[in-house]
């Protein structure tokens, strides 16, 4: 990815907006100053000076940052970053219990989703679906992108789909996706959307039979592979 000199480009004119855009794009990718500094091979103090306009944001550095942040160099000028790259680093699969459903870092991969201003100030997470527990909505291998409900502080909403973690008394956990529904009595349930009879029973919000149920995050995007 390269960026040539723009005819009539005035670096001083765009200096402040460019560094502000750099901050916004970095934060939208869920990266700290330290993360970016390490990737660039520079000290975090030097990177901090870059974002705070103490040193010049050169064209070569813009190219490096664009590669790292998965955007176009021009996004630092125009303020238009159309996509956001999300790390897929876990799987969700109902009925399969383990100590962790997160992968080793070497197995992570990225997907692109729209850079929606609604979620720009929040971290987003990616997970790959496995098994048939939500196959009416998410075929196996679909990537779901979700928020952290603690970070966003959003109330749960009927009709929305959530990443749900269920922990047994022995400490083993499963992660799955369920739709929040409300019955005629006003009780809330987490409902699967599956063609498999093993995965058609709703889950109580509070858990049952010694299980602890946690709503981890709300699904905001899904990405599916083409056959």
What predicted TM-score, i.e. pTM, was given to this entire model?
Answer: 0.66
pLDDT by residue (tens digit) across 27-42? 878 889 999 999 999 9
- 108 is written with which tokens? 């992570």
123 close to 184: Cβ distance less than 8 angstroms = no
User: How far is 84 from 91, CA to CA, in rounded Å?
Assistant: 20
Classify strands 125-129 and 203-204 as parallel, antiparallel or unpaired: unpaired
pLDDT of res. 225: 64
Placement of tokens 């992660």 in the chain = 175
User: How far is 36 from 74, CA to CA, in rounded Å?
Assistant: 19
The DSSP H or E segment spanning 213 is: strand 212-223
Contacts of 115 (CB under 8 A, 6+ apart): 28, 81, 82, 83, 84
pLDDT of res. 78: 62
The DSSP H or E segment spanning 76 is: helix 75-78
pLDDT of res. 4: 32
Which residues of the chain are modeled with pLDDT < 50?
1-15
pLDDT by residue (tens digit) across 170-180? 999 999 999 99
pLDDT of res. 15: 44
């Amino acid at each position: 990815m390269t960026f040539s000199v723009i005819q009539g480009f005035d670096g001083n004119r765009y200096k402040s907006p460019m560094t502000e855009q750099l901050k916004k794009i970095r934060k939208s990718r869920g990266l700290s100053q330290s993360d970016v500094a390490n990737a660039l091979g520079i000290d975090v103090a030097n990177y901090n000076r870059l974002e705070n306009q103490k040193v010049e944001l050169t064209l070569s550095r813009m190219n490096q940052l664009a590669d790292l942040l998965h955007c176009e160099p021009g996004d630092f000028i125009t303020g238009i970053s159309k996509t956001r790259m999300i790390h897929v680093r876990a799987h969700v699969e109902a009925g399969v219990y383990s100590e962790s459903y997160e992968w080793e870092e070497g197995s992570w991969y990225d997907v692109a989703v729209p850079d929606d201003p609604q979620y720009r100030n929040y971290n987003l997470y990616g997970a790959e679906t496995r098994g048939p527990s939500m196959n009416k909505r998410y075929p196996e291998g679909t990537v779901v992108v979700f928020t952290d409900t603690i970070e966003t502080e959003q109330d749960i909403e009927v009709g929305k789909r959530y990443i749900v973690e269920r922990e047994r008394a022995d400490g083993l956990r499963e992660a799955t996706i369920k739709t929040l529904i409300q019955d005629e009595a006003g009780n809330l349930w987490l409902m699967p959307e599956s063609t498999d009879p093993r995965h058609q029973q709703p889950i109580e919000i509070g858990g049952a039979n010694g299980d602890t149920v946690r709503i981890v995050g709300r699904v905001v995007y899904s990405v599916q592979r083409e056959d």
